[in-house]
Structure 1
């Protein structure tokens, strides 16, 4: 992509930002990026080292800044995730390190995080299964007053990011383990107050955007033929880990609106099963209380 150099200042290699942003947005839109203008502005702000809201105060950019911006726009046009280009993903009040090998947290998961925060009393023990970047675990550590947060992740690649993100939170313990293991966190059985899980839940064969297909780890996206291969054992393990009255929240695919609440009811050890929708009205997560 080449952005036209318009109205350079006298004697300097400077370019007006507004036309460069417009050209970048057009390039991204043509490449199928839904949030083309927003992504262009975020990339420009990243290159300039300022907040996106301050772009209105910038009239021109230097030649080296323009070239860096063009390079990043072209990579985004190739459907490299925006968060990979920025090196971080915003999640509630956090900026989480992300990159190849770890699932990029989605804005809709902030709803499950908020629910978990609301149910975390001071001193509570909280478990986050399939932690990835640590988005859920670290949001609770950041916004509530838990006594202990345990973040469980299996992938060695994802653990690099999880440990980096968790380093600022001494009350968070990172555990490498498979969440489907029948003896997972056996030392906490019957002692957990809040258990959250954002597992791989997309049914295999479901078409996904290039950002997901080419960059998110498949093991963090797809959950077997029906998308429930991880959720089923997680429900059983949640029942074993939670204290009576403890609560569980599990994110799921929008095709699982009835299925996950039904699995919680069928387990027989939960009450107060509730299905929750996201801001677009799609089924997004289910919650329940340990009987």
Structure 2
């Protein structure tokens, strides 16, 4: 037991979190106690968590693929299911390629891919200024540039047609379903990171059209979708001349779509 756990009443914290509906109240209590340096600080953290603030925003980090990724308030929290997207993307690309993380949020995917692929060029981009600032801090020690702008518009034009891998964890929730998301997401994450338009594919279709121009021959696009969107998105990719494949993980309840540019 750590000194922090001896100082604070863990059982009271667990009870409060469980009453607020936190499914993993014991684990969350331990994390909040470790993050607090005084009883007053702990009380504040517990109050804010009970009010619905995301645990990751309170801690300032999220665990993703075995790494601790900094997450600022308002920034999209990397989901465990996105580990499938990153793994599937890495499997398509040889080490030393040119890699772009679009809609990067905190930069979590780029952070993992840097270790797995050792790219000769790696960059990230997002339209949200808060996400860009967060990703820049997470990736600064690797010297990875993070660009702010709308999808490929943010990327230096010299890389058009030269990318071996584009990973895009773009928003894919249909607009009418956004109000049905858990409060942690819809109230505390940027809407631009969640809302995928009428059918959820508006941003992903733009990503696919851009990938046709920005991928090198033989390069791959990798995105995350819901299972019910697979057929529609596969048709979009095929219509653009890309060659799609689908990976699904039942345990993670995750679906990734890969698309290769022929050549």
Q: How many residues align?
A: 258
Q: Show the counterpart of 1:154.
A: 127
SS of the equivalent of 2:165 reads strand
Unpaired runs of 5+ residues, structure 2, are none
Alpha-carbon distance, 1:283 to partner: 4.8
- Stretches of 4+ aligned residues off by more than 6 angstroms: none
Please name the residue that 2:260 is paired with. Answer: 289
Q: Once the 2 structures are TM-superposed, how far is the Cα of residue 123 of structure 1 from its aligned partner?
A: 2.0
- TM-score normalised per structure 1: 0.81
Which residue is 1:10 aligned to?
Answer: none
- Cα 1:283–1:158 change in 2 (3 A) is closer
1:266 Cα deviation from its structure 2 partner = 2.4
Q: Name the counterpart of 1:175.
A: 147
Unaligned runs of 5+ in 1: 1-13, 49-64
Matched, 1:110 2:83: yes
Cα 1:164–1:263 shift into 2, 3 Å: same
What's 1:81 paired with?
54
5 Å-filtered alignment, 1:1-291, equals 17=6, 20-47=9-36, 65-170=38-143, 172-179=144-151, 181=153, 185-206=156-177, 207-267=180-240, 269-271=241-243, 273-280=244-251, 282-291=253-262
Question: Structure 1 pair 191/19, CA: closer, same or farther in 2 (3 Å)?
Answer: closer
- The separation in 1 between residues aligned to 2:139 and 2:190, in whole angstroms, is 20
State the Cα distance separating 1:75 from its structure 2 match: 1.1
Spell out, residue by residue over 1:221-267, the C-alpha distance to the aligned partner (whole angstroms, 9 max, x if none): 11111111100110011111111111111012343232222322222
Q: Secondary structure at the match of 1:190?
A: coil
Q: CA shift at 1:130, angstroms?
A: 0.6
* Range with bigger deviation, 226-235 or 116-125: 116-125
Q: Distance in 2 between matches of 1:83 and 1:256?
A: 28
SS in 2 for 1:136: helix
Separation in structure 2 between the aligned mates of residue 236 and residue 26 of structure 1, nearest angstrom: 50
Q: How many Å apart are 1:73 and its aligned residue?
A: 1.5
User: Aligned in 2, Cα 1:284/1:16: closer, same or farther, shift over 3 Å?
Assistant: closer
SS at match of 1:205: helix
- Equivalent residues of 1:33, 1:79 under 8 A apart: no
Shift in Å, 1:279: 4.0
Q: Which has the larger radius of gyration?
A: 1
Summarize the Cα distance change of 1:285–1:254 in structure 2 as closer, same or farther, 3 Å threshold.
same
Quick check: 1:178–1:184 contact (8 Å CA) kept in 2? no
Cα offsets for 1:137-189 (capped at 9, x unmatched): 1211123211001211111121110111111112x2222220165x9653222
Q: Which protein has the bigger helix share? A: 2
